[in-house]
Structure 1
Amino acid sequence: MQIKSIETYRGAIPLHTPFKTALRTVTVAETIIVKVTCADGIVGWGEAPPTHVITGESLASIDYAIHSIFKPLLIDNPLQMREIIFRKIENSVLRNTSAKAAMDMALYDCIAKQANLPLYQFIGGVQESIETDYTVSVNTPEEMARDAKKYSQNGFSILKIKVGKDQIATDIKRIQTIRNEIGSGIQIRLDANQGWQAKEAVRAIRHMEELGLGIDLIEQPVIARDLEGLKYVTENTDTLIMADESVFSVDDAKRVLEMGAADLINIKLMKSGGIHQAIKIATLAEAYGVECMVGSMIETKVGITAAAHFAASHPNVTRYDLDAPLMLVSDIAIGGISYKNNQIILGNAIGLGIQAIDEKFLVENV
């Protein structure tokens, strides 16, 4: 089964509510959609959103990597030699992890379709549905409490709260206000998006522990490169600390794991460069006894479907943050995963189960 063509399309879908973190505000989900067609007619789909503040990529750089670097390397390659193909993608250019992820997931879609299996079954087959959290954007404490209440009433039992944008005392007030509004039955996770300093993070987390706010975990409290600071926070608090932006690659994960710098690791396909490398990170973390979450950027159902299939396939992935399609006014993908309140249903369609792309959300052929 040879790769015969690789095409890209640019999509743009508005969010129904602005998505706000310590790093950015997003009102429109812009993305590059990749279509891989094989000689036997099998089609695979992938996606790469530009996330400048995290991966450093733009729409233009993603498109360039796919057409000018990956395409010449991959056309006419047989997918039966997939290990060689994935190695070519990984070694052909430094970083550019979202562009790599888009190619990777489209190729995995083709391979699973050739095997006549849903992708999650092809790569592991651990479970058929997973529970996602829902993200509360950073706003005033009162706005965030209202949003948290609404999401919990909509069936979400786990909320991911964005913090780290301003004074840490305000963040504590945010969590107190939210907890008072939603009660004790809803699980809370915090994501500081690198917004705190190590010592102030320890003081704040200890204070939240003393207040009994019931925080499940805190994601990336310090700047990504500060592994010593991350380790300091992990060692000096009781709450679980998760590395996110600190871990892109297998080598990054190895450093964090060897240092004992975090209790958990958040794997995102747009950071790892796709499913092939994500599997390696999850397996390495399992050897160290460290569980993983699978998260995402602001992606459509194309990328989230691939992330969900990976997440459902690996026994060391125990937490899921895959709510991005629920933030969009509609979706570019026809088919793929489906949502039932807080449950993501993978289904039995082969590959990723994506049937087509809704052209009304395409801006232009790239």
Structure 2
Amino acid sequence: MEIRSIDTIRQSVPLIKPFKTALRTVHHAESVLVRITLNNGNMGWGEAPPTVVITGDSLESIEAAIVKTFTPLLIGKNVLAYEQLLQSMHHSMVGCSSAKAAVDMAIYDLVSQFSGMPLYKFLGGYRDRLETDFTVSVNSPYEMGEDAVECVKSGFYVLKIKVGKDSIEQDIERIREVRLRVGNEIKIRVDANQGWQAKEAVRSIRRMEDMGLNIELVEQPVKAHDIDGLKCVTDAVETPIMADESMFSPQQAFEIIRRRAADMLNIKLMKSGGIYKAQLINQMADEFGIECMVGSMIESRLAVTAAAHFAASKKNITRIDLDAPLMLLHETVKGGVIYEGPLMILPQEAGLGIQEVKPFVMEAVE
């Protein structure tokens, strides 16, 4: 069960429609795929997208971390000593959380294959299916209303509305338009992606409460570093506030929990550095009665399947935001999680359940 080789492969998959947030606009789902092969021929898969404005990771930095730092550290090691391997990887360099996540999920894929169990069962096995929301990108109020209606027609009953790109007034109009178009039975989550200041966030959320827009939660209303501002908003409104970009590590999660700076936490493998650290964050939150969401960056079914296994294994993960593969124009993975509208069904094969990976790369236009 020794690691024989670690390979990286780039892919770039066009999106059906540009994905727009307060931080960026994405047209292609770029990522680095990781394949770890053992001396017995077994293979484990991982994936890391470059999200420079959030994690600081680029395609080049992800590849460099894996090839130059993690590979020499892991080659020849027994994958079943995964606690030792993952500890070594996390201590080998600061940052590069996406690169760490890709290697982490490939290791967990191999270990759970050896156990003969699907990864979600190996991690705890709390449930075998999830229900995800669907994200409505930030655009004009009218276009967002149209997109929201299409989501509901496709069977989604929880929508995540992106705001924070321009004025608060425009954001409120976006949310009001979506609520008007989809009715009161649909759950609406609002994600400002750090786009507001603390005081204007308080004013806008209170106004939405007074308007009866019935918002389930507001995610990351202020800048990632502004924990004081995050706590200010959390303390001042009735709507639950969720921390996202403010929390990468277990240490940051501890500080948010200690200060009660947010009501909920959004765990993403690309922020935590993979499943190993994500479990620590969720367990800490669970001990203090703070529920968690599992989300993703713009990732293919490969990385999202790993996130889904983790999410399905834990009782304290009560909300799911894993719709990214549904935004891609081409499928690159055979196997993995299956979507039936918002329902995500976990594979029952050992490991991640990835049967084949066919990287897609856009051809250059002459």
TM category, shorter: over 0.9
Within 5 Å, give how 1:1-366 maps onto structure 2. 1-361=1-361
Are the equivalent residues in 2 in contact too, given 1:193–1:220 (CA < 8 A)?
Answer: yes
Q: Deviations over 1:297-336 (max 9, x none)?
A: 0000110000000000011100000000000012221111
Are the equivalent residues in 2 in contact too, given 1:12–1:363 (CA < 8 A)?
Answer: no
TM-score (norm: length of structure 2): 0.98
Matched residues, percent identical? 53
Aligned residues: 364
C-alpha separation in 2, matches of 1:66 and 1:25: 27
Q: Deviations over 1:30-63 (max 9, x none)?
A: 1000000111221100000000000011100000
C-alpha separation in 2, matches of 1:80 and 1:128: 24
2:10 alignment partner, SS class: strand
Offset, 1:158: 0.2
Are the equivalent residues in 1 in contact too, given 2:335–2:347 (CA < 8 A)?
Answer: no
Letter of the structure 2 residue corresponding to residue 156 of structure 1: F
Are the equivalent residues in 1 in contact too, given 2:13–2:360 (CA < 8 A)?
Answer: no
Gaps of 5+ in 2: none
1:79 alignment partner, SS class: coil
Letter of the structure 2 residue corresponding to residue 234 of structure 1: T
C-alpha separation in 1, matches of 2:109 and 2:25: 31
Structure 1 stretches of at least 4 aligned residues deviating more than 2 Å after TM superposition = 359-364
Offset, 1:151: 0.2
C-alpha separation in 2, matches of 1:305 and 1:129: 11
Offset, 1:361: 3.7
C-alpha separation in 2, matches of 1:226 and 1:295: 21
CA-atom RMSD, angstroms?
1.1
Q: Deviations over 1:191-219 (max 9, x none)?
A: 00000000000000000000110100000
Offset, 1:347: 2.2
Q: Deviations over 1:239-291 (max 9, x none)?
A: 00000000000000000000000000000000000000000000000111100
Offset, 1:362: 7.9
C-alpha separation in 1, matches of 2:334 and 2:50: 22
Are the equivalent residues in 2 in contact too, given 1:293–1:317 (CA < 8 A)?
Answer: yes
Are the equivalent residues in 2 in contact too, given 1:10–1:362 (CA < 8 A)?
Answer: no
C-alpha separation in 2, matches of 1:361 and 1:280: 35
C-alpha separation in 1, matches of 2:277 and 2:156: 30
1:261 alignment partner, SS class: coil
Letter of the structure 2 residue corresponding to residue 116 of structure 1: G
Offset, 1:80: 2.0
Gaps of 5+ in 1: none
2:81 alignment partner, SS class: helix
Deviates more, 1:350-359 or 1:301-310: 350-359
Letter of the structure 2 residue corresponding to residue 286 of structure 1: D
TM-score (norm: length of structure 1): 0.98
Letter of the structure 2 residue corresponding to residue 179 of structure 1: R
1:18 alignment partner, SS class: strand
Are the equivalent residues in 1 in contact too, given 2:199–2:233 (CA < 8 A)?
Answer: yes
Offset, 1:231: 0.1
Q: Deviations over 1:122-145 (max 9, x none)?
A: 011000100000000000000000
C-alpha separation in 2, matches of 1:362 and 1:205: 41
C-alpha separation in 1, matches of 2:14 and 2:359: 15
Offset, 1:359: 4.2
1:77 alignment partner, SS class: coil
Are the equivalent residues in 2 in contact too, given 1:9–1:362 (CA < 8 A)?
Answer: no
1:64 alignment partner, SS class: helix
Letter of the structure 1 residue corresponding to residue 305 of structure 2: T
Q: Cα–Cα, structure 1 residues 215 and 21, in superposed 2: closer, same or farther, change >3 Å?
A: same
